[in-house]
């Protein structure tokens, strides 16, 4: 157990995960924050998966509580905040990790279905706006707090699907807005732009397509990452999140941290 988040209370939205052989970004972040001493509200649309994350936290001696949250439902977000306050009386860290692309019906701009566009924007961007809306008043009263939003390096590269790229660019703008409008309250806000991560959500849906094995999917993704010739994993995102939430990053706000092994540089 570390000490970089001792005494902190964190909400990690999207801290369950789809099933797969590896760990997802949200779960890894929740686990790492707990290992470093934080008490963690584990929020996810899939309550069973959230409870699995909490079980792992408790098995390592940490503190956590699970809550079902659909980020498109504002009442769910309000209930999540109320639960955290009832449980631990404060909110020091808000980590927003929810996002969807092709599985939500994303497509190139000439092929996008209007309803799919609206739905993905609600999940990827509107959900983060609402989480910030309800957590920031708590942090203002405390005169402290850290918000970390997960975007994507899809913002920087030639990414083909219109809604994901647009929504993730919106997450960057949201974060910058939150940072500058809340700096006077001692609140920091930053955004992480992950690249090709070996997570269940990113990898498992491709396994079996055209007879492709999991190993082949991972190898294809690895080949697109310059640094050491292999992609990252959820722990790379989690460690970046821990740093941004820690006192070591106490003078960092409004920044975009790219965690992609150089992929966006190679892509131009």
Residue 22: which of 195, 198, 207 has the closest Cα?
198
Q: Other CB atoms closer than 10 Å to residue 184's CB: what's the count?
A: 9
Segment (H or E) for 65: strand 63-68
Structural contact between residues 92 and 144, judged by C-beta atoms closer than 8 angstroms: yes
Is 159 considered catalytic here? Answer: no
**Which residues contact residue 65 at a Cβ distance below 8 angstroms, ignoring those fewer than 6 apart?**
40, 41, 42, 54, 83, 87
Structural contact between residues 263 and 226, judged by C-beta atoms closer than 8 angstroms: yes
Residue 149: which of 161, 131, 122 has the closest Cα?
131
Segment (H or E) for 43: strand 39-44
Structural contact between residues 43 and 94, judged by C-beta atoms closer than 8 angstroms: no
Give, as one character, the DSSP assignment of residue 125.
I
**Which residues contact residue 173 at a Cβ distance below 8 angstroms, ignoring those fewer than 6 apart?**
none
Rounded distance between C-alpha atoms, residue 139 and residue 137, angstroms: 5
Strands (E), 179-232: 187-194
Rounded distance between C-alpha atoms, residue 136 and residue 145, angstroms: 8
Q: Which residue is catalytic, options 159, 161, 164, 185?
A: 164
The token duo for 228 is 């050491």
Q: Is 156 exposed, middle or buried (0-12, 13-18, 19+ CB in 10 A)?
A: buried
Tell me the catalytic residues: 164
């Amino acid at each position: 157990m570390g000490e970089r988040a001792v005494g902190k209370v964190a909400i990690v939205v999207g801290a369950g995960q789809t099933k797969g052989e590896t760990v997802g970004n949200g779960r890894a972040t929740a686990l790492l924050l707990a290992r470093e001493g934080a008490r963690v509200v584990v929020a996810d649309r899939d309550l069973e998966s959230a409870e699995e994350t909490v079980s792992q936290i408790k098995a390592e001696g940490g503190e956590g509580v699970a809550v079902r949250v659909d980020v498109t439902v504002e009442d769910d977000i309000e209930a999540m905040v109320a639960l955290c306050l009832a449980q631990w009386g404060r909110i020091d860290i808000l980590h927003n990790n929810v996002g969807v692309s092709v599985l939500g019906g994303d497509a190139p701009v000439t092929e996008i279905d209007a309803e799919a566009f609206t739905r993905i924007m609600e999940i990827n961007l509107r959900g983060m706006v609402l989480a910030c809306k309800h957590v920031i008043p708590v942090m203002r009263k405390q005169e402290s707090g850290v918000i970390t939003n997960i975007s994507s390096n899809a913002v920087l590269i030639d990414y083909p699907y219109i809604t994901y790229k647009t929504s993730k660019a919106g997450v960057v703008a949201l974060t910058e807005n939150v940072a500058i409008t809340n700096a006077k309250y001692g609140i920091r806000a930053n955004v992480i732009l992950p690249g090709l991560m070996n997570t269940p959500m990113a990898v498992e849906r491709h396994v079996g397509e055209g007879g492709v094995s999991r190993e082949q999917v991972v190898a294809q993704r690895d080949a697109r990452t310059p640094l050491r010739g292999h992609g990252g994993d959820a722990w790379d995102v989690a460690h970046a999140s821990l740093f941004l939430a820690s006192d070591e990053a106490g003078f960092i706000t409004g920044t975009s941290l790219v965690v992609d092994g150089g992929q966006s540089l190679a892509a131009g």
